[in-house]
A and B are shown apart, each in its own frame.
Chain A
Amino acid sequence: MPKFFNSKSKQLEGDIDGFLDRITTAGLIFQEGVKAYVNGKSDKFERNFKEITALESDADNIRRDIKHKLYTYMLIPESRGDVLGLLETLDDIVDICEKVLEQFSIETPEIPEFLRSDFIELAELSSKAVEEVVKGARAFFREIAMVSDYVNKVHFYEHEADDVEEHLKRRAFNSNEIKRFSHKVHMRYFAEKIAEVSDVAESVAERLSVYAIKRRI
């Protein structure tokens, strides 16, 4: 019987690790995709967009599989709800990343030269927030005491992203270089969309800190 328990839980450990790997990768692809778009490398951008679409459905499948196994084998009855909640909100991050790249692909916003670095920095900060929240999630499974460290880092990057977002929007609206009002609004929309990734990462971090308290013995 111990072997039975162990093999199932080892399998799930692997599944969870695989799921978390995909979230980190999604964050990185998102960052690279925005960078490629802003720098006008449309081939590379479309490649990134395809990659993240594949990753999104992959992550979905793994999550469903984990959910199925947790219920079928009646594992971690106490923290099952929390774990599934955590995985679901982490999955939202991938969804948002994919959606943002999709919007870029559909709407093809025209990014003026002077806003490029801001857009890239914003995408980097959002991706950092994702990276840290995934580390926090790993800590939730293995090293509960470390969770708060990562949660703090997520808060930090989200705050930085907010600053850059505001700065970007002000520059867009104050600029004489962008002539049309609709163009300014378009810039605002994409700044908000990219920053939303870090917002979602932050809300996952919030959950994580509560789950971590609950998991303390």
Chain B
Amino acid sequence: MLTIIFFLSSGLFLGWSLGANDAANIFGTAVGTKMIKFKTAALICSIFIIIGAVVSGAGASHTLGELGAVNQLAGAFIVALSAAMTVMWMTKAGLPVSTSQAVVGAIIGWNFFSKTPTSMSSLSKIVGTWIFSPILSALFAFLLYHIIKRIVEKSNIHLMRLDSYTRIGLLIVGAFGSYSLGANNIGNVMGVFIASSPFKDFTIADIFQISSTQQLFLIGGIAIALGVFTYSKKVMMTVGSGIFKLSPVTALVVVLASSITLFLFASQGLYNLLTSLHLPAFPLVPVSSSQAVVGSVMGISLAKGGRNLNFKKLSHISMGWLVTPLGSAILAYVALFFMQNVFMQNVFN
């Protein structure tokens, strides 16, 4: 049991840092602008992240599994640890970083080390989604901004009432965003442990069946929630009052657009529906919530006539697509070597 906890710890650490960083993408502006209290935000965020992870986390995780099924617990430990370290270092260096990219890089590192061929179709699907997701977010934000602006202007709603509706909206959208974040990003945290999961499926009163994967996701979700409660306040304050100066209503648009994007790339139900209708479905891939948010902000800038469009930020994002996976892959490869040859652990079958 102790070994299991030890090996899972790197994933839990990754989950913690995801919670600390990414919760701010959902509730940052609301908390930073004092529209919602941090405690309320943290509670809603944690609950819905866990629900999203357990209920709908399988889809995006499956894609990571296709990329490389890390089949030894010690190997999974190193993969998650390398990803977490990469995220931590890049955050310290002030570079934009996505957990998804770090994890994909680390898995590829494992593939190289274990001489497992990397599925190019999965890889291109994942990378394509990374590029596509901020664009899609921008598009949603652009459309939503125009729709909401029209509604607000036409309805002649009193400033005070608009304020209370915006608060309720931020809470609902925040809950949806947290659900989507949990569903889409739990794969990053726990996905690498699926193939070597130490848990067994069990059923409660013959009704609820909880698979070993869902148990993993539950633990991962709790780790994310812990990150939200312990460390995300600082990040939220920075996001809310620093980088993007958004009004509460535009903040609502940003969070809604980003949440829809995360949801589309995580919803198994939607995927099945579209596939059954013979329509092109969104691939279920973990994407970066930070990049979705940046995309949404860009979309709003465009909707406002293209002022304040930050091209430096755009180039940072595309740099992240390359640097993060590469750094993480190299780190994972080196760490796997040490784990195998110094600590004498099997890192692959």
Contacts and interface: CB of A to CB of B under 8 A. Distances in A.
Contacts of A182: none
B34 A142 contact: no
A5 B157 contact: no
A5 B248 CA distance: 16
B160 A77 contact: no
Interface stretch (A9-17, A18-26, A184-192): A9-17
A98 B272 CA distance: 72
Interface in A1-52: 1-2, 5-6, 8-10, 12-13, 16
- What range describes how many residues of A lie at the interface? 20 to 34
Interface residues of B, number: 23
Interface string B229-256: 0000000000000000001111000000
8 contacts: A13-B161, A75-B163, A77-B248, A78-B248, A142-B156, A142-B158, A144-B153, A215-B159
B164 A9 contact: yes
A109 B167 CA distance: 55
B34 A10 contact: no
Nearest to B168: A2
Interface of B: 33-35, 145, 148-149, 152-153, 156-161, 163-164, 167-168, 171, 247-250
A76 B159 contact: yes
A142 B248 contact: no
A141 B157 CA distance: 8
A6 B161 CA distance: 7
Given A5-B167, A12-B160, A140-B159, 18 more contacts: A1-B171, A2-B168, A5-B168, A6-B164, A9-B163, A16-B160, A75-B163, A76-B159, A76-B160, A76-B163, A77-B248, A141-B159, A141-B160, A142-B157, A142-B159, A217-B145, A217-B152, A217-B153
B160 A75 contact: yes
Contacts of B164: 2, 5-6, 8-9, 75
A87 to B, nearest CB: 12
Contacts, number: 58
Given A9-B164, A16-B160, A78 B153 contact: no
Interface string A125-146: 0000000000000001111110
A74 interface: yes
A57 interface: no
Interface of A: 1-2, 5-6, 8-10, 12-13, 16, 74-79, 83, 140-145, 215, 217
Contacts of B167: 5
B153 A145 contact: yes
Contacts of A215: 159
Given A78-B33, A217-B149, A9 B250 contact: no
A217 B167 CA distance: 15
Nearest to A82: B159
A9 B161 contact: yes
A74 B145 CA distance: 25
A6 B163 CA distance: 9
A78 B240 CA distance: 12
Contact of B33 (A8, A10, A77, A143): A77
A136 to B, nearest CB: 14
Instruction: Pick from A78, A79, A142, A144 the residue with the most CB of B within 10 Å.
Output: A78
Nearest to B157: A142
Contact of A77 (B34, B152, B158, B161): B34
